[in-house]
Amino acid sequence: MMLVLFGLMAMATIWWGRGRIRRLAYERMPVLIGEAMARLGLTPADAESAGLDRAVMKAGESCRNCGVAGECRDWLASSVREGPGERCPNAMLFDEIRARRRPEPPRAVSHRDLGIY
């Protein structure tokens, strides 16, 4: 019994640590890719649930070495909500994350929503 409990605790610790490491890595990503994802309404959790978290990490490297960073900054400074454009090396990845993103679960309706108090 103790061995099983110890095993479960070890698995939980590894799972928690893996997620924490990914979150820390996302926090250290180049600013532009993080801002671009936020502008598009994408989060690291969306990438992870889509199975593309490692691809986003690699995309951070291409963002860091990007030759069109000025255009990206202009897009981020604008009010345009559409994607960063075809010149962005990560545009297809953003589209893929959006396509694979799990839909938000429906919100539960409360008695207050129905006007019942």
Q: Which residue range forms the structural domain that includes residue 89?
A: 27-100
Query: How many domains does the chain contain in total?
Result: 1
pLDDT in tens, the chain (117 residues): 666 666 566 565 555 555 565 555 555 555 788 888 888 989 888 888 888 988 988 888 888 888 888 888 888 888 887 878 788 889 999 999 989 887 666 667 776 777 776
Is residue 19 included in any domain, yes or no? no
Give the per-residue pLDDT at 66: 82
95/82 Cα distance (integer angstroms): 11
Q: 90 with 59: CB under 8 angstroms?
A: yes
Is residue 18 included in any domain, yes or no? no
Is residue 20 included in any domain, yes or no? no
Is residue 17 included in any domain, yes or no? no
